[in-house]
Amino acid sequence: MRLFSLSLSSRKGLVADVASLLYRYGANITHADQHQDHEAGLFFMRVEWTLQGFDLNAFRAEFQTTAAELQMHWQLNLMSEVPRIAVFVSQYLHCLVDVLHRQQAGELHCSIPLIISNHHDGEALARFYGVEFPCITVKPEAKKAAEDEQRRLLSAEGIDLIVLARYMQILSSDFVQEYPTRIINVHHSFCRPSKAPGLIMWHSHEG
């Protein structure tokens, strides 16, 4: 199974164009998701398809040209590859609890080797799940140094995706741009979202 994800400035016909190109090279699409951020003018798409009868090299060669013309961020991954995820959290732990439980139960196809926080509240929970828990204090006058240390840890662990599970700090644009479309922010509707491009917002609502 092949996983394909992309993000770019929104325009008409994107879904049809991508689906047609995949079909032309023999893809049997098994799942597809799309999301449009109207405020940022961005379009996100995620497609899964089987590789049987699919000409991957020819598709990749043609799509590279299309992606460059549209200034698109995109990536191809095999579903058999397990992504490595880092979770960022502050003092509210309910989102972290949910992510860790779902991962352990097999609902999330990933490994979680790292939880980064600016508070010690989640340390015991991380220890229970056997996950490293570096606590990095973030002060306004030393924000860059804190983010540099976070990036060092992420690089050392080979992290593919970052999940912000009620992490109550606003990431700098430099940080976000280093992980384009690889940061998911899980937050409630009353939280102020970051405006940095490349940050995927996952809204949840009390109810």
What pLDDT digit, counting tens, does each position of 18-49 carry? 889 898 998 999 988 888 888 878 888 888 89
Q: What is the percent of the chain with per-residue pLDDT over 90, rounded to a whole number?
A: 46
Instruction: Taking residues 95-115, report their average pLDDT.
Output: 95
Global pTM exceeds 0.85 = no
> What is the mean pLDDT of the segment spanning 110-114?
97
Q: Give residue for tokens 């961005």.
A: 42
Which of the four pLDDT bands, split at 50, 70 and 90, describes residue 79? confident
> Which ranges constitute the DSSP H helices of the chain?
14-24, 56-69, 94-104, 123-129, 143-156, 173-178
pLDDT value of position 35: 84
Q: What is the pLDDT of residue 187?
A: 60
Highest mean pLDDT among 1-15, 36-50, 86-100: 86-100
Residue listed under structure tokens 């430099």: 174
Q: What is the pLDDT of residue 87?
A: 98
